[in-house]
Structure 1
Amino acid sequence: MNITKEQIDDLNAVVKVAITKDDYQDKVESILKDYRKQANIPGFRKGQVPMGLIKKQYGKAVLVDEVNKLIQENLNKYLTEEKLDVLGNPLPKQQESFDWDKDDFNFEFELGLAPSFDVALKTKKAITSYKIVADDKMVNEQIERIAKQYGKLVSKEEAGKKDEITGTFSNEEEAIENKSTLELDKLKAKKAIDSLVGKKVGDVVTLKTKGLLKEEHLLASTLGIDAEKAKDLNTEVTFTIEEINEREPAKLDQELFDKLFGKDTVSSEKELKEKIKEDSEKQFEQQADQKLLNDVTEYFIENTKFELPTNFLTKWIQSTGENPLSDEQAAEEFEKSEKGLRYQLIEGKIIKDNDIQIQFDELKEFAKGFIKSQMAQFGQLDPKEEELDNIATRVLDNQDEVKRLSEQLMSQKLLSLYKEKVNLKTKEVTYENFVKEVYG
């Protein structure tokens, strides 16, 4: 077998594979002999079928199969040995005069080659790195929510503006019949609030669904309907009041502090505020980091210029899709995937140039940290190291989890590199202003 490469240009090449009879004959003969031993053909005893008949019936299929195996094994080996950085997979060139009845075969494969380029980590333009702070307003609102959440319900005869009213929503035409609780301070429509204030158990109130709640996405669960229906629902429902309660805030005492953060972690209202501020800003840091990662990614895609073997990749997409694609459809698919492909190449270049690697031991430690944070959400604040180690071992036995965690750890490593090397400007904002600025 002989494999040679013809360079078309910097991004395209053709690999030629020449296979002679000597390359495949022994293997084909061996397989056909095995077929002969097992063949059950009427008129012949098992193992006594003439070889000529076996070759006539199975020879071509075995030949094609073995030649294809030879190509696959040796072509992949050649690409590795020659250190060719290819995009997609080699595409076989069509040969109109190809004949499987010959002894020797010649195949040609088109290659799309990865471009050569450099990534300048020190960006010309300063990229904003947000530092999100929890201001006094946010901390106080969080304390109010906590006190309310852990408070107790006190039954009332008449509804006030901050009470919780439980009742049944009904609308026969829209098939609505659902028991739910309304918190009056979460209603958006002033008319709805006014119509409920002063009402008693047994009263029936008519409410408009459109603009009823401040958080519109909660309308579906409130009315007991699916989200798609709730999205554009503009009708009236009756609300039959069954229960009226006032939520009495919990006292900010040691019992509540211990319930929230573990015994003696917080021992005063001042420490509570500090703890809420600290925890909130840790959560905000994740969002700020993701924003920074996204912005750096976008910058590199926009400012790292290189050509791609567009024609090859379009043909490759066309040939590997589940369903046949026209030239126009394949071109559209390439256009959709081009941005992602460009960043894969850029990211790979950054990882290679900066020798960023993931060792199994650090992946296991990363998994243990992830598991520990998950356990903390369910009140297990101090798991034993042996328990964490055992869970991490089980998690890393799953290759899908290994892939997912490796990607997350690599993102962290890249983020650390960007914070060190990229030209950044820090901007301190409240969470409210961060949301406005970033998400509009």
Structure 2
Amino acid sequence: MEIIRENKAELNDIIKISISQDDYKDNVNGVLKKYQKTANIPGFRKGMVPFGMIQKMYGKVAKLEEIQKVGVDALNKYIDDNNIKLMGEPIPEALEETAFDLLDDFTFNFEIGIQPEVEVDLAKFDVDRYRIVVEDKILEENIANLQNRFGNYDKFEVANETSMIHGEFVELDKDNNATERLNSTSIYIDKLDNEEIELKNKLIGLKLGESIEFEASMVKKSNISLWLGIKLIDVDSVNKIKFTAKEIVNITPQEINIDFFKKVFPEDNIETEEEFRTKLKEINQEEFNKITDQNFVEEVVGKLVTDINFNIPLDFLKKWITYTNNDNAEITEDVIEKEMPNLEKTFKSQIIESTILKNNGFSLSNESILIKAKEIMKQRFESYGYFGIDEKVIEEQVVEFLKVEKNHKGIVDMLVNEKLLEIFNNSIKINEKEVTFDEYKNLKK
């Protein structure tokens, strides 16, 4: 076997792997002998079929599979041995299947994209970070929401001006078909602004089980983000939404008293309204900090992508995306070309993040993923009023939760963002600025 590496372009190489018959013939014979032991062919007892017949029947398939396996194994070993950091995956050059019948020696060509080495000196950067102040009006809105949450619910068949409607929101594409963006949550008709009067009028009179469709431009971006469960930065891509009413209720708010305090914070010994407001304000501040911290990490990474000048193998990446989406008629060369500026930013962000994490000795373990997942699961139970859940129950829920790839990735992303935030806090010059929630929303438009 011979392996040659040739440069094609910047950060773009060809790895040529030449395989002779000696590299694979023993493997092929081993596979055929296994077939011989298990083959059921009329006229022969099991395991007694002549080897020549097995070779004639299965030799081509076994040869093809073993040659490809030897080639791929050699490629992976070469990449590992030479510590090559790939972008995307190797693209194999196709061989005619007839060649496997006619030839004994083969050369496989694999095109690879290489991740560049990037120097990231965080001490050079100066970044603004905004902290949202919990205003009295925010606190009052949250108290009113909690009064509704713990109030008395009367079910109705038809919505009126003060109804809360629980249902399913789903984004519609340009052909009015449902997309994968959907979420079940509630909408309070009397909480809609004057600018959302058109939607309010559609909801009043809506019957249980009925649906309405409305343009995203009719409502505030923050509501679209809440209803579809997406980030604010993704709202601009939404054009139309369908809402289906699953439950319609009118609410008599819970009075503000010690029973109310116990319902909201069952594990805290809160006896006065002042203590209640202080506790709620602390929680509101924590929630705002989560929002601003997440955005801060994204903004810092975005600034690093803009300010650190480095190249990536764009032509290879276009070719790789085309290759991996070969069976998807919607992913055309024009679509890829149009999306390439955004994809370039994404690729560069990933390189910068991985470089920073590596420089700071960060590594993920299954244990850290489990601990974070348990923490999230416990918070979920408590958000529904279930406190003191048995640890074994939480662990069982976490096991099922992490089986879903999207959930597992979400936990990994949380841990990565937490580490990046810690690194940025300790390494970058940060200018802290306090703003109101409305001011912050305007800054992020």
- Report the TM-score, using the length of structure 2 for normalisation: 0.72
The residue number in structure 2 matching 1:67 is: 67
Q: Aligned pair in 2 of structure 1 residues 387, 265: CA closer, same or farther (>3 Å)?
A: farther
User: Out of 141, 157, 160, which is 1:181 matched to?
Assistant: 160
Deviation at 1:71, TM superposition (A): 0.7
The alpha carbon displacement at 1:329 in A equals: 4.7
Match status 1:430 vs 2:436: yes
Tell which deviates more after alignment, 45-54 or 338-347.
45-54
Residues 19/421 of structure 1: CA separation in 2 closer, same or farther (3 Å cut): same
Which residue of the partner structure matches residue 226 of structure 1?
A: 211
Displacement of 1:292: 0.9
Aligned pair count? 379
Matched, 1:398 2:403: yes
- Give 1:19-418 correspondences, 5 Å limit: 19-35=19-35, 54-93=54-93, 99-100=99-100, 101-124=102-125, 126-146=126-146, 179-183=158-162, 214=197, 216=199, 219-220=202-203, 223-224=206-207, 225-228=210-213, 251-262=255-266, 265-321=269-325, 322-323=327-328, 327-332=333-338, 334-383=340-389, 386-387=391-392, 390-391=395-396, 394=399, 398=403, 400=405, 401-418=407-424
Q: Would the alpha carbon gap of residues 26 and 299 (structure 1) be closer, same or farther in structure 2, given more than 3 Å must change?
A: same
| Rounded Cα–Cα distance in structure 2 between residues aligned with 1:246 and 1:361 | 44
Output the CA distance in 2 between the equivalents of 1:17 and 1:372.
Answer: 52
| Contact kept in structure 1, 2:11 and 2:116, CA below 8 Å | yes
**Residues of 2 paired with 1:265 and 1:373: CA distance?**
19
Contact map agreement 1:10 1:115 (CA 8 A) in 2 = no
User: In the alignment, what sits opposite 1:172?
Assistant: none
Q: Which amino acid aligns with 1:72?
A: V
Whether the aligned pair in 1 keeps the contact of 2:294 and 2:417 (CA below 8 Å) is: no
- Counterpart CA distance in 1 for 2:205 and 2:415 is 40
What SS does the corresponding residue of 1:183 show, helix, strand or coil?
coil
Offset at residue 379 of structure 1 (A): 1.6
Deviation at 1:355, TM superposition (A): 1.0
Whether the 8 Å contact between 1:112 and 1:312 is mirrored in structure 2 is yes
Aligned-residue offset at 1:346 = 1.3
Q: Which amino acid aligns with 2:158?
A: K
Question: What amino acid does structure 2 have at the position aligned with 1:118?
Answer: E
Out of 282-291 and 397-406, give the one that drifted further: 397-406
| Cα drift, residue 310 of structure 1 | 1.8
Partner of 1:191: none
Residue 83 of structure 1 deviates from its aligned partner by: 0.7
Deviation at 1:220, TM superposition (A): 4.1
Matched-pair contact (CA < 8 Å) for 2:148–2:251: no
- In the alignment, the residues of structure 2 paired with residue 148 and residue 399 of structure 1 have an alpha-carbon distance, to the nearest angstrom, of 33
Give the SS at the match of 2:104: coil
Q: CA deviation at 1:405?
A: 1.7
Alpha carbon RMSD of aligned pairs, Å?
3.8
Pair 296,119 (structure 1): closer, same or farther in 2 beyond 3 Å: same
On the 8 A contact 1:3/1:16 being kept in 2, the answer is yes
Partner of 1:174: none
Q: Measured at CA, do residues 54 and 127 of structure 1 come closer, stay the same or move farther in structure 2, by a change above 3 Å?
A: same
> Within 1, Cα distance between the matches of 2:295 and 2:399?
32
Q: For the residues of structure 2 that align with 1:221 and 1:338, how far apart are their CA atoms?
A: 46
Partner-residue secondary structure (3-state), 2:269: coil
% identity of equivalent residues? 29
Point out the more displaced range, 266-275 or 323-332: 323-332
- Seen in structure 2, the aligned counterparts of structure 1 residues 344 and 221 have a Cα distance that, compared at 3 Å, is farther
Return closer, same or farther for 1:326/1:223 CA change in 2, 3 Å cut-off: closer
* Structure 1 position 53, deviation (Å): 5.2
Contact 1:372 1:388 in 2 (8 A): no
Decide which of 398, 421, 440 is 2:427's aligned counterpart: 421
